[in-house]
Amino acid sequence: MRSSTLAWLVAGILGGSTLAHAQEAPMNDATADDPYIWLEDVAGERSLDWVRAQNRTAERALEADPGFEALRSDLQTILDSDDKIPFVSKRGEYYYNFWQDKDHQRGLWRRTTLEEYRKPQPRWEVLLDLDALNAAEGENWVWHGANCLRPDYDRCLIALSRGGADANVTREFEISTRSWVEGGFFREEAKGALSWIDRDTVYVYTDFGPGSMTESGYPRIVKEWKRGTPLSEATVVYEGRPDDMYIGAGRDHTEGYERDFVSRTLAFYNDEMYLRKADGSLVKIDAPNSANKSVHKDWLVLELREPWEVGGRSYAAGSLIAADFDAFMGGERAFQVLFEPTETTSLAGSSWTRNHLILNVLDDVKNRIYVLTPGEGGWARAPLAGAPEIGTIAVSGIDDEASDEYFMTVTDFLHPTTLYHGTVGQQPEKVKETPAFFDAEGLTMSQHFATSKDGTRVPYFMVSKADLPLDGRNPTLLYGYGGFEISLTPSYSGAVGRGWLSEGGVYVVANIRGGGEYGPRWHQAALKANRNKAYEDFAAVAEDLIARRVTSPAHLGIQGGSNGGLLMGNMTVMYPQLFGAVVCQVPLLDMRRYHRLLAGASWMAEYGNPDTSDWEFLQRYSPYQNVRADVEYPPVLFTTSTRDDRVHPGHARKMFARMAEQGHDVTYFENIEGGHGGAADNRQRAYMQALAYTFLKQRLFPKD
C-alpha cells in the first residue's frame, strides 16, 4: 500500500474543501484593498450573474469565428470516438473500464474478460449507467471511481461527484445484482472516502461536523465504522491536527500480508505512515517524512526526496531503496539500492508484478524500462524485453498477487497511443491502438535545450513541419506547468493535433524546474523563494524559440492550467514582451489570499505562507497584485469552473475583472460544471478546447 502524498493525489483523494464561499478569515489588507473580493462568493447570485455576462461576451467573440463550430464538432468526435483505447484494471477474473462516448456523456462502468478484451470489438457487461442514473435521480453525477472488496470483488464503494467537484458521496454497490445495497454504507457529500477493512467494516475519513476538517479542507479524523451502526458511533482510529493536510487509512488485502496503515499528510511530500496493529495501536514507520513510502509483501520501499544517512550508509536524494519490512519494524536498517539518479536520470515510477519490480527511468526526459528481481544475492536488474527505445512509455503490473503480466502503453506527439500486454521475460503483444485523429504526414518531433538565466540547461520538445521555415512567423503554442514534481513527457493528443498542428501551428512543451523531469532536485529548485527559477526557465524557452526564428512574440502563445495557470499569470505580467496571446486555465493568481481559498492552505509547502515573511518573495510572484494599467500585456483568455472546489474560481474572476477595468484585452469563460478539470463530460471538454484554440488562432496566425 503506497501512502505518500503523491499517491493520495493520484488516487483522486486530494482536492479542495467543499464548494462554498471563501473560507472564513479575518479582514486584512488583502481583503480591505480588494474591490473584487465579492467575486470569491462562488455561487452567490451577484457573482453568477457576473459570470453569465462575461460568458455571453466570450461566446459572441469566439463562437462567431468561421471555424469554431467545425472545430468544436471535430474535437467532440475525437473525444466520443468508439475507437479510443478502453483502458482497464483487473479485479479478480474481470477487467473493468469506465467509458464515455456520444451516447453516454456521463459514462458507463463496465467489465469484460481478457479473452474478450483482446478482440477488436469486445463484449462488455454494463454494471452502472451514469446517464440513466442521473435521469432517474434528477442529478448530475460524475464518476469518481470504485473501490471493490477482495477477493470476491462483488461489493464496491462507488464515489460520485455532483458536477465534477472534488467533494463527492460514497455509495455501496453490489455487482451481482447491479444495484445499490439497501441500508449499505453511505457517506454524505464531502472531501474524503470510505475504504474496505472487511465486508462489514470500513475506514471512513470525511466531514464529521465542526472541527473535523483540516485548515486545507480535508479530513482530519479517520474512524472505523461497522455495518448497521450510525456513523456517529464509529470509533476514532487517528486524529490529526487542524494544520495537517489530510488524514486517511486503508488495508492492504494481499493474501498472507494483510496489514492496516494510517497516513498523516502534513503537506505535499511531507507525510507520516503508521502500521495499525491488531489491538488498534499505531506504530510509526521510521522513515523520512519527505520519502514516498510503500509496503509490498515482504518489502518496505522508499523513494527518497532528500539525502538520508541510516544504518551506517548514505543514500542520495532521488534514490529508490528497499528493506525487509518486518526486519525494519524490528529495528534493522539494512537497505538495498534499487535505483540511484545521475545528472540526467530520475525515477519516473515503479510497479510490481508477482515476482518482479518494474522500474521506469527518465533519462533526459526519455523513458528507459528495467526489471528488478529480488533473490538471495540481492536484486537482479535487466531491461524489460520488448520495451521500445523511443516514445513515452508507461508500464504497470496487472495483478501483483497472481502473475507477472503487465500492460505497457507507448505514445508520443505524432504516433497514436499503443497498448501492449506482456509477461516479464517474454515479448509483449500489441492489444489496442488509438486511431490517428489527425494527419501527421510531414510533421516531426525534436528535443532542444534552452539556457536559463542562471545557466541551467532546460529541455523542451517541439512538434512542427519538417520543412519549417525559420522566418519568425510560425504560430507557436508553448505549454508548461512547472510544479509539484510533475513531469511533462510527449503524448498523443487528438485535440492538439486537430486544434493546432493541423492548422499549421508549432507545438512546444517546456520541461521547466518545479516539475519532476530530473527528480526531486528539479522540483526543489523552484520552491517558495526560488519560484522565479520556473518562470526564468519558461522565458528562456520562449527566448530560444525566438532566437532560432521558429517564431516571434507576435506569433508566440502560451497555455497552462492550475499551477500552470499561475505560470501563465506570471509570464503575462513579468514577460509581456515575449508573447502574443495567453490561455490561462483554472489558475491560481491571487497569492496573497490563495491559502484562504478552498484547498489553498495545502500548497504552502510549494509556494510559501503569505501571512509570514514569505510574503516578501511571494508578492513578486502574485499576478493579481502586480498587473498594471500602464503596461501593454498580450491578450489573455481566462477559463475556470464554478464547480472547481480545488483552485477557487475567484482567482480567474478577480484577475479578469482587474485587467478589464485597466483596459487590457481579456476574455473570460467559466463553465458552470466541470470541477478542477474544467469540464464534466466530452461535450463540455470539446467546447472548452475549441474556445482556447479559436482564441489562439485569432491572435497568433499571420493576417496576410
What DSSP string runs through 419-479? EEEEETTS--EEEEEPPP-S--TTEEEEEEEEE-TTS-EEEEEEEEETT---SS---EEEE
The SS3 call for residue 224 is: strand
Asked if residue 368 lies in contact with residue 413, where contact means CB atoms within 8 angstroms, the answer is no
**147 assigned to some structural domain:** no
How many domains does the structure of the chain reveal?
A: 2
Residues 460 and 392 in one domain: no
- pLDDT tens for 239-288 read 999 999 999 999 999 999 999 999 999 999 999 999 999 999 999 999 99
pLDDT at 298 over 90: yes
Arithmetic mean of pLDDT, 596-621: 95
Q: Is residue 289 part of a domain?
A: no
Q: Which of 375, 402, 436 is the last residue of a domain?
A: 436
Report pLDDT digits (tens) over 398-456.
Answer: 999 999 999 999 999 999 999 999 999 999 999 999 999 999 999 999 999 999 999 99
pTM of the predicted structure, to 2 decimals: 0.89
DSSP category for residue 234: P
The answer to whether the CB of 332 falls within 8 A of the CB of 312 is no
Distance of alpha carbon 506 from alpha carbon 696, whole angstroms = 12
- 578-607 burial code (b ≥16 CB/10 A, e <16): bbbbbbbbbbbbbbbbbbbbbbbbbbbbbb
Q: Are residues 386 and 465 in the same domain?
A: no
Query: What single letter denotes the amino acid at residue 272?
Result: E
500 assigned to some structural domain = yes
In the predicted structure, residue 4 carries a pLDDT above the cut 60:
no
> 499 and 625: one domain?
yes
- Lowest mean pLDDT across 4-8, 213-217, 409-413, 550-554: 4-8
Indicate the pLDDT class of residue 688, thresholds 50, 70 and 90: very high
Q: Do residues 522 and 624 share a domain?
A: yes
Rounded Cα–Cα distance for residues 632 and 663 (Å): 10
CATH number at residue 488: 3.40.50.1820
pLDDT at residue 598 tops 90: no
464 and 409 in a common domain: no
For residue 205, is it within any domain? no
If asked whether residues 397 and 453 sit together in one domain, one would say: no
Higher pLDDT, 140 or 672: 140
Answer yes or no: 562 catalytic. Answer: yes
Helical (H) or strand (E) element with 583: strand 581-585
Whole-angstrom distance, CA of residue 536 vs CA of residue 315: 31
Same domain, 581 and 466: yes
Q: Could you tell me the pLDDT band of residue 8, with boundaries at 50, 70 and 90?
A: very low
> Where residue 676 falls among pLDDT bands split at 50, 70, 90?
low
In a domain, 498, yes or no: yes
Q: Is the pLDDT of residue 494 over 50?
A: yes
In this prediction, residues 298-312 reach a mean pLDDT of 97
What confidence category does residue 13 fall into, taking pLDDT thresholds of 50, 70 and 90?
very low
Predicted confidence at residue 703, as pLDDT, reads 85
Name the catalytic one among 296, 648, 664, 676: 676
pLDDT tens per residue, range 67-108: 999 999 999 999 999 899 999 999 999 999 999 998 999 999
What length does the chain have?
704
* Per-residue pLDDT at 206: 98
Identify the active-site residue in 161, 487, 562, 641: 562
pLDDT at 20: 32
Q: What are the phi and psi torsion angles at 91 (to 5°)?
A: -135, 110
pLDDT at 515 over 70: yes
Give the pLDDT confidence score for residue 585 in this predicted structure: 97
Taking 50 as the threshold, does the pLDDT of residue 11 lie above it?
no
**Rounded-to-integer distance, Cα 668 and Cα 134, Å:** 29
CA torsion sign for 305, 560, 591, 677 is negative
At residue 619, the pLDDT reads 97
Closest C-alpha among 172, 167, 208, 156 to residue 189? 167
pLDDT band at 31 (very low <50, low <70, confident <90, very high): low
Split at pLDDT 50, 70, 90, the class of 1 is very low
Would you say residue 127 lies in a domain?
Answer: no
Q: How high is the mean pLDDT of the chain?
A: 93
C-alpha span between 559 and 446 (Å, rounded):
20
Query: Looking at the predicted structure, is the pLDDT value of residue 27 above 90?
Result: no
> Quick check: is 133 in a domain?
no
Confidence of residue 366 (pLDDT cuts 50, 70, 90): very high
**Within a 10 A sphere around the Cβ of 73, how many other Cβ atoms?**
12
Among 415, 436, 457, the domain boundary falls at 436
Q: What is the mean pLDDT of residues 484-499?
A: 96
Q: What is the model's pLDDT at position 14? A: 32
448 catalytic? Reply is no
Among residues 537, 532, 536, 535, which one has the least CA distance to residue 518?
Answer: 537
Q: Is the pLDDT of residue 10 over 80?
A: no
| % of the chain with per-residue pLDDT over 70 | 94
Contact status, residue 54 vs residue 668, Cβ threshold 8 Å: yes
Same domain? 504 vs 652 = yes
Q: Decide if 618 is inside a domain.
A: yes
Q: What is the mean pLDDT of residues 597-613?
A: 94
Number of Cβ within a 10 Å radius of residue 76: 21
Residues 513 and 414 in one domain: no
Same domain, 418 and 456: no
DSSP bridge pairs for 294: 2, 301
User: What is the structure's pLDDT at 3?
Assistant: 36
Same structural domain, 383 and 523: no
pLDDT at 202 exceeding the cut of 70: yes
* Banded pLDDT at 163 (limits 50, 70, 90): confident
- How crowded is residue 224: how many other Cβ atoms within 10 Å of its Cβ? 17
Provide the residue range defining the domain that includes 362. Answer: 341-436
How would residue 681 be classed by pLDDT, with cut points 50, 70 and 90? confident
Residue 82 dihedral angles phi and psi, to the nearest 5°: -75, -10
Question: Do 368 and 426 share a domain, yes or no?
Answer: yes
For 184-201, letters b (16+ CB in 10 Å) and e give ebebebbbbbbbbbeeee
Domain end residue (candidates: 392, 409, 436):
436
